[in-house]
């Protein structure tokens, strides 16, 4: 797995490391509250309730056109306004200046804008209730502005996307596929335009022929003017044909009847086949590919988060390091076995796994070695990994060749030294014999000659 090249996955690891380094005891009570899952769930419930209340309020207004809104609706709106303003201020207090510069800064700006619109709506409502309608239609313009602000509050439901991971993934998928989708639309627009110009030319020639011959007007001729009377009408007719807005046989029928040829039928059929079977399937394929890529990225992020939890489970003594004995003791645990299976790693040989994860060969595995090691070992080998192994093997072979050459040189020098030692030993033996003979026979010249 190309872990080093995956920026999103590296950011997930860094974020989880930051959470791990800062324990819960370091958080202030307000920070614990804002960063808890329960807080997001509570705000999600408030968003749903606010949307339901708005629907009930609009439905009541539709059924009581001549009555003013009940006071309870105004108080409910003020309560929701206080809740959302308090949430925004609490988040700004916790994140401070990072609130508009962190990873989700776009959501922060969106929340601020929506809450600001609601505050403005409540202020305008209070001003109108105190001053009453203005003169010269001023009250009517304020009423329209209030309605506009109320419609803007519906955008708050978009925040549900951030709170629900599944919706967030779908939105990111759509945004990621918009580029390919737009280029597909350009291709479809060009195709529709070319066919529309051709069909309009054929319809115009048929209508001119009918007018010049003085034939009576027919229903088919009227339909021909409706469907193919101009380039704009032809474009809409073609779009209706491929999108299900109208039956394409009814659209091409008048042109075929008036011209008396089947060439237009063949051209139109080829256009329908290409647009529905090729272009539409191409759009579907783009979204499916994006969904698969996004699902894989989400799975990898979840595996990274799971790695930190598994590390804490295996680290029995809480030393922030895993020893070989700790790994062996937890190899039979269901959580570790399931995690290794999700990572496509075997749990049968713990010794090899420990050696692979222990990069610095210190005899222990820290959290970085465990997380990065597991993610690096996930999946099969890529072509780049195989090429790297080939390059490394070339270096090893080159080093072995050099070592063998050095050994051969060393063996040659060792042979020369051995020969000299043998010669020196022979001379030493000769000297000993000469000395022994000299002692016996007093023949010192022999010794002197051997010494020379």
Domain borders along the chain are 36-163, 176-293, 315-377, 383-451
State the average pLDDT over residues 435-443.
Answer: 60
Q: How far is CA 121 from each of CA 53, 59, 148, 156, rounded to the nearest angstrom? A: 16, 20, 9, 14
Residues of the chain with pLDDT > 90, as a percent, come to 7
Give per-residue burial for 73-99: e unless 16+ CB within 10 Å, then b: eeebbeebbebbeebbeebbebbeeeb
Most confident of 249-253, 341-345, 437-441: 249-253
What confidence tier does 191 reach under pLDDT thresholds 50, 70, 90? very high
Q: pTM above the 0.75 mark?
A: no
- Who contacts 223 (Cβ-Cβ below 8 Å, separation ≥6)? 253, 254
Angle, alpha carbons 50-131-85 (nearest 5°): 30
Residue pLDDT, tens place only, 44-83:
888 888 888 888 988 998 888 888 888 898 899 889 989 9
- In CATH, what number does 36-163 get? 1.20.120.350
Nearest C-alpha neighbor of 80 from the set 30, 43, 108: 43
Question: What pLDDT, in 10s, does the model give residues 321-348?
Answer: 888 888 888 877 777 778 777 777 766 6
The 10 Å Cβ neighbour count of residue 151 is: 11
Please give the C-alpha separations between residue 96 and each of 88, 91, 100, 184, 437, in angstroms, as whole numbers.
11, 8, 9, 43, 105
Query: For 387-405, what is each residue's pLDDT tens digit?
Result: 777 787 787 788 877 877 7
More confident residue, 179 or 409: 179
User: So what's the pLDDT on residue 198?
Assistant: 92
Tokens read off for 56: 């009930």
Fold of 315-377: Recoverin; domain 1 (1.10.238)
Q: CA torsion, points 252, 253, 255, 258, in degrees to nearest 10? A: 170
Q: Which residues pair with 321 in a beta bridge?
A: 366
């Amino acid at each position: 797995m190309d872990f080093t090249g995956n920026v999103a996955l590296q950011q997930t690891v860094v974020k989880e490391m930051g959470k791990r380094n800062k324990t819960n005891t370091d958080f202030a009570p307000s920070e614990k509250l804002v960063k808890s899952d329960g807080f997001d769930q509570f705000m999600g419930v408030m968003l749903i309730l606010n949307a339901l209340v708005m629907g009930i309020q609009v439905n009541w207004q539709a059924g009581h056109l001549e009555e003013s809104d009940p006071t309870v609706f105004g108080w409910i709106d003020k309560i929701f306004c206080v809740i959302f303003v308090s949430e925004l201020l609490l988040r700004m207090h916790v994140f401070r200046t990072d609130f508009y510069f962190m990873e989700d800064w776009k959501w922060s700006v969106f929340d601020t804008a929506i809450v600001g619109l609601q505050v403005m709506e409540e202020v305008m409502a209070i001003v109108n209730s105190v001053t009453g309608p203005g003169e010269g239609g001023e009250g009517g313009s304020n009423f329209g502005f209030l309605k506009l602000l109320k419609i803007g509050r519906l955008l708050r439901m978009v925040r549900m996307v951030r709170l629900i991971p599944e919706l967030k993934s779908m939105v990111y998928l759509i945004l990621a596929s918009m580029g390919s989708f737009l280029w597909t639309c350009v291709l479809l627009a060009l195709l529709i335009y070319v066919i529309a110009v051709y069909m309009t030319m054929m319809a115009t020639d048929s209508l001119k022929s009918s007018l010049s011959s003085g034939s009576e007007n027919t229903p088919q001729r009227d339909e021909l003017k409706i469907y193919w009377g101009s380039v704009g009408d032809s474009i809409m007719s073609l779009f209706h044909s491929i999108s299900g807005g109208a039956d394409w046989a009814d659209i091409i029928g008048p042109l075929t009847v008036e011209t008396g040829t089947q060439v237009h039928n063949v051209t139109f059929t080829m256009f329908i086949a290409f647009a529905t079977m090729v272009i539409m399937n191409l759009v579907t394929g783009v979204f499916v590919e994006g969904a698969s890529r996004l699902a894989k990225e989400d799975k990898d992020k979840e595996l990274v988060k799971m790695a930190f939890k598994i590390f804490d489970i295996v680290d029995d003594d809480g030393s922030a390091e895993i020893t070989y004995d700790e790994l062996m003791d937890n190899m039979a645990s269901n959580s570790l076995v399931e995690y290794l299976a999700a990572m496509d790693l075997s749990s049968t040989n713990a010794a090899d796994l420990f050696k692979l994860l222990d990069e610095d060969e210190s005899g222990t595995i820290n959290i970085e070695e465990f997380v990065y090691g597991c993610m690096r070992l996930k999946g099969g080998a890529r072509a780049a990994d195989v090429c790297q192994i080939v390059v490394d093997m070339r270096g090893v072979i080159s080093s072995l060749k050099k070592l063998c050459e050095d050994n051969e040189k060393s063996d040659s020098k060792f042979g020369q030294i051995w020969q000299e030692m043998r010669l020196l030993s022979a001379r030493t033996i000769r000297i000993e014999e000469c000395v022994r003979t000299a002692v016996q026979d007093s023949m010192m010249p022999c010794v002197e000659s051997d010494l020379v």
